Structure 1
Amino acid sequence: MDRPTPDPARLRRSYEGGELLEAQVPADPFALFGAWFADVVAAGLTEPNAMVLATASADGVPSARTVLLKGYGPGGFRFFTNLTSDKARDLAANPRAALVFPWHGMHRQVRVVGRVEPLTHAENAAYFGTRPHGSQLGAWASHQSAVIAGREELEARYAELAARWPDPAEANPAADAKPAGGTEPAGGTEPTGGTEPTGGAAPAGAAKPAGGVEPAAGAALAGGAEPAGAASSGGEGGVPLPDFWGGYAVIPESVEFWQGRPDRLHDRLRYRRERTGWVLERLAP
């Protein structure tokens, strides 16, 4: 606390070396997003799939937080969360959102505005099954956005769940061993970039939306009873998908690509959805 506090008004950087011109971009914003996403991954930016998600309550009170992109394509930009969280309550009352991908290291950002639809149970289960065992337990342990007495409460709940659903890799280390020769089994890798297949739109209303119901995220496990809120098995180690956990797709009505330029004369190209397709327009910086 002895160091002097920097004056943010004196912090300046000139954005050099990039440009974004109409003649250089594809007609589809998802194609340009995919190219930019590949650029930031190749450049080694930390958490390239981190995005700021902004929502608003029924009363119009805004809130924002960073979440992780878990898929993109014609069906929208996907993320997953606890369905009793503040963000889920906002989306139940006001199913619209904005996203920002803050790729500062490349003097770029992407802004998305659109409606939000819940993913299907099958889509939720498919993604939940790919999560590490600890993350699956964490989804059960955390009653997200609720006030708790202390970290000890959270850790005790996690330990109880870990005892019920042990990590199969720890119980049988040989299960994770690679075959002779060190090669990875075919089909064991995750698709690069996490992209959603073309045409993989999430069917509207196909999953139960977050309706503000408080399922028992921390239900007692004593006596061997199945915890309240278990929707299905199928996760690694047999951890079931909680029925209070799932995903959303932000289906864009506009996607803006921002490229920093010198003298604050930045390039801003916005794709705006119309009935006949996407319209590309330049915005003043």
Structure 2
Amino acid sequence: MDIGDMRRDFESEGMDREALSDNPTQQFETWFGDAREAGILEPNAMSLATTGADNMPDLRTVLLKYFDERGFVFYTNYGSRKAHEIEENPRAALLFPWIGLNRQVRIQGPVEKVSKTESLKYFASRPRGSQIGAWVSEQSKAITSRGLLEQKVAEMKRKFSEGEVPLPGFWGGYRVVPERIEFWQGRPSRLHDRFEYVRADDGWLIQRLQP
């Protein structure tokens, strides 16, 4: 299938250095707010790229659950494929594709586990069904049928029929600590605006990149 003629011009306002915050977290917060106000579906959905010991890049979509000056947090099963790859190579890249605004944000940096307190706080805020699901799924492992999964759900519902669902010891959060953040704004004729923040000893180096 030849789809080479699928294209559109990005009609959007430009991005100047003077309009950007000196702090990339603050700039991200501004753009994230814009995405929410614009009604972007799942604005906290981000592509997470990891590479394990086999040097084969891997990619999936996860949900951002928290961010601050320390980094960008998501949660998962510590036995999952992504977790094994992070253990083997604790560095990752994130991509927020806010296509409706002709924008994207790219983030790169090392990955660290969040504290158990942080994981417990978030886990307690999840719907009960999602809490049960965390106990049930051996994420990324093969299973012969969905029926077995549903059977395990029923078992866990009986097990935790009273009281709160506890935090599984094999489940928790990771924080991507940004070393490099790029803000991309689509412009006509593919002459896009790109600004990159690179962590330096005394703050952040900000530079415009060619499109």
TM-score (norm 1): 0.73
1:259 paired residue among 171, 185, 200? 185
Shift of 1:241: 0.4
* 2:194 counterpart residue number: 268
Aligned partners of 1:64, 1:164: CA distance in 2, in Å? Answer: 34
CA offsets 1:33-70 (integer angstroms, 9 cap, x no match): 00000000011111110000000001211100000000
Aligned match of 1:26 = 21
**Superposed structure 1 runs of 4+ greater than 3 Å apart:** none
State the 1:9 CA deviation.
1.3
Distance 2:12 2:54 in 1: 43
Distance 1:119 1:136 in 2: 18
Q: Does 1:41 align with 2:52?
A: no
Any idea what the Cα deviations from partners look like across 1:201-248, whole Å, max 9, x if unmatched? xxxxxxxxxxxxxxxxxxxxxxxxxxxxxxxxxxxx410100000100
Give the superposition deviation at 1:18.
2.3
Shift of 1:162: 1.2
What are the ranges of 5 or more consecutive residues in structure 2 without an aligned counterpart? none
Highest relative contact order (Cα 8 Å, sep 6+), 1 or 2? Answer: 1
Residue 163 of structure 1 and its aligned partner are, at CA, apart by: 1.9
The alignment partner of 1:255 has SS state of strand
Conservation of the 8 A alpha-carbon contact between 2:66 and 2:74: yes
Match of 2:57 in 1: 62
- Report the equivalent of 2:141: 146
- Mapped to 2, the partners of 1:130 and 1:8 lie a distance apart of 44
User: Aligned partners of 2:159, 2:3: CA distance in 1, in Å?
Assistant: 50
Which residue is equivalent to 2:151?
Answer: 156
The residue identity in structure 1 corresponding to 2:185 is: Q
Are 1:91 and 2:86 an aligned pair? yes
Q: Partner of 2:121: helix, strand, or coil? A: helix
1:113-140 deviations in Å (ceiling 9; x for gaps):
0000101111110110000000000001
The structural deviation recorded for 1:10 is 1.6
Q: CA RMSD, aligned part only?
A: 1.0
Matched-pair identity in %: 50
Q: Does 1:114 align with 2:109?
A: yes
CA distance in 1, matches of 2:7, 2:32: 26
The total of aligned residue pairs comes to 211
Q: Taking structure 2 as the reference length, what is the TM-score of the superposition?
A: 0.98
> Where does residue 188 of structure 1 map in the other structure?
none
Three-state SS of the structure 2 residue aligned to 1:34 is: helix
1:165 CA drift (Å): 1.8
- SS of residue in 2 equivalent to 1:51: strand
